[in-house]
Amino acid sequence: MALTASVRSQDAETAASSRPTDTAVIVPTTARIIGNISDGTPPPQAPKPGFAVPAKDILQSSVHEQGGRTITIQEIKPIAMPPPPMPQPESPTVQIDNAAFKQRLAEYRANHPQTPMLSLGATVYHFKDTPPRTLVRYWPKNGGEPFTFWSSAEFALISGIHSFAATDGSTYSLFLAWGNIDTTRAGAFFGGLHHPPDIPAFPNGPATFTIVGTPPVDPSILIPIQSLHDLYNSEHERLKTAREGCESARLQREADLKANPPKPMNIVLNYWRIENPAPVKGSSK
C-alpha cells in the first residue's frame, strides 16, 4: 500500500507541476469504467443483404446432393454490372524527413491523441477453501520492460472492462488474455504432482497487488494497474453480475448447440454468360 500511495502522490505532484497557470485543468482522482461491460448480451448484427433471382430469369438449373445438403447451379439472365472503377492517380511521394511534413504530423497527433492499450496476461488460480488469486504479466506501453505481479483480485471479472479512465486522467483500452486453473482438479489430473506456484499472503479487505521481483523504475507505470484494482473494489458487484451473465450465456449457447447441432447449409450458385468475354491474362487481344 505504501507503493500505491507513492504512485498517487507523485502523480498528483506531476499533474500540478505540468498544469498551465492560465488554464484550469481538472485531473480525476477516481478511476471509472468507460462504456459498457461485457455481460453476455450478443452485440446487434445488421441483417445480411439477400439475393434472389426471379423465376423468369432462370434459364436452366441443376441440383446436386453433397454431404446432406443441396448445391443448386443456375444459369441466369445476365445482370448489368457497374463499370470497373477508374484507376486512381499515383499518390505523390511523401518526404518523411521534410520539416513541413513533420510539423503537420505533430499537429495531427496533438489534435488526435491515441488511446494507449493496456496489455495484460492473467492466470486465475482457484482453490477449494480460499479466494482466487491471479498471476498477471504486464507489458507497459512504449516498449517498457515487462514485469509480473500477484493480485488478490479475480481478473476474470476485470475481463469485462473494455476501456477505463485511470486516476491520472489518462484513458486506456484494455487487452486482457486470461485463463483459469482449478488447483484441485489440476492436482488430481497430474496424480498429485502438480503444485501451484508460491503465492504471497494478502490481507483481508480490498484487492491489492504485489510485484514479483524488482519493481519498475518509473512508479507511474503502476497507475493503470492500481486504477484497475480501484475499479475492482468499487464496481465489484457490477463486474461480478456481468461475469455471471457471460457464463450463463456461454452455457446457454453450448446447450442450444447440443440440442440443435448445425446442419450443412444449402448452396445456390448463379452464373451467366457474357457475349464479349474478358481477354485472357497476358494476351494482347
Give the separation between CA 95 and CA 271, rounded to whole angstroms: 48
Q: E strand or H helix at 173, and its extent?
A: strand 171-182
Q: Helix 2-17 vs helix 223-234: angle between axes, to the nearest 10 degrees?
A: 110
User: For the chain, where are the alpha helices, taking DSSP H only?
Assistant: 2-17, 99-111, 155-158, 183-189, 223-234, 236-259
User: How do the pLDDT tens digits run along the chain, 285 residues long?
Assistant: 333 333 333 343 333 333 333 333 445 579 999 999 999 998 888 888 888 899 999 999 999 999 889 999 999 999 888 888 888 888 777 777 888 888 888 888 788 777 889 999 999 999 888 899 999 999 987 767 899 999 999 999 999 999 999 999 899 999 999 999 988 776 544 455 556 678 999 999 999 999 998 888 888 899 999 999 999 999 999 999 999 999 999 999 999 999 999 889 999 999 998 776 666 666 655
Q: Is-contact 230 207, C-beta < 8 A?
A: no
Length of the chain: 285
State how far the Cα of 207 lies from the Cα of 133, in Å rounded to an integer. 10
